[in-house]
Structure 1
Amino acid sequence: MVLLARPELLRILSAHQSPESVEYQRLAEDLDRGENAGTLLHGQLSQQLVGWRSSQPNVNPALVLALLLNPHLMVPPDDNGDSGVAEWVDILWQRVSNASTPESAGYAAAVYGSLGTLQALARQRRYWEGRYAEVSTAHEGLVGKVELQNRTGRIIHWCRISLIGLPSASSSP
């Protein structure tokens, strides 16, 4: 399948006079369009989203060809119970669902090829959400302490002022 998943090879096969020539030519064009669409999708993600900049496009032409030949296999990848990955897959799969057949196969292959990136981004998000929760809790605790110190300081200040204003016991007759 990997060897057949090249538009150039399909075009060579279509050059031979056979009943399948037209089908090979159409499949070569669809494979080209699908692979280009998947690569462009990954390019858009890597240009517009910081977390994608270091990821490499991974649009497997054999997967694109398999999805072109068997569109019923075009289903979202399994998220393995990771809600962060599921969120990414849901967002990206809308692109697959809204596209025509050659492009949708390329988009689907790009989503499948990006599972490693999706898992890494989900892990990073959980880490930073956890850190944010820790820092927020510590911050709230410190704010409470500062407010208590400020109130205590104001009370001490007013107590000192009040003590200065009281007549002393030794000066009474």
Structure 2
Amino acid sequence: MGIEVRPATDFDDVRTLVGPKRPDANVCWCLSYRIPSAENQALTGPARGDRVRQLLQEEIPPGVLAYDGDEVVGWAAVHLRAATTFARNRRIPLLDDLPVWSLWCVRVRPGHRGTGIAHHLIAGAVAFARERGAPVVEAYPVDNEGRTVDLTMAYVGTRAMFDRAGFTKAADTGSVLNGFPRVLMRLDLR
């Protein structure tokens, strides 16, 4: 069966990919760039999952999920940049006034990595944004020049991943992750 990517609307599937093993744990839930920093820092334990549940009820879901048959195997966070902390991020430049979409997290479940699911997620996130009128999709991966990226920081992706997906480097950023510079990559959908 092929990989299918669809909007993230199922809380249990999102929890499988970005939630904690214990409900009271303070894991990211992919909220760090999606909600204001003060709110993100104030949310703890189950309140983090509750906030994700709210985001899943909004008109535009907070991302996409990849499925291999009925099994959820991947997650990508994608949303209007204006509705993320990237809108005010001093290290990630704002290049123009276009209503761009940001793609900032690509996560594949252990046991499914290295099988091309990340490429399906990027393509699915781009399609999701295009269907909602995005003129441009941006990503902020590390430029690791082929060197190994720590798995805890690999969620941003690598420049090579986004090159393969048709994105081009649009700008350097002032952001560094895991010792690697992050670059602003863009895919024009117009």
Query: Shared fold (TM-score greater than 0.5)?
Result: no
TM-score by length of 1: 0.29
TM-score by length of 2: 0.28
Bigger radius of gyration, 1 or 2? 1
More strand per residue:
2
More helix per residue:
1
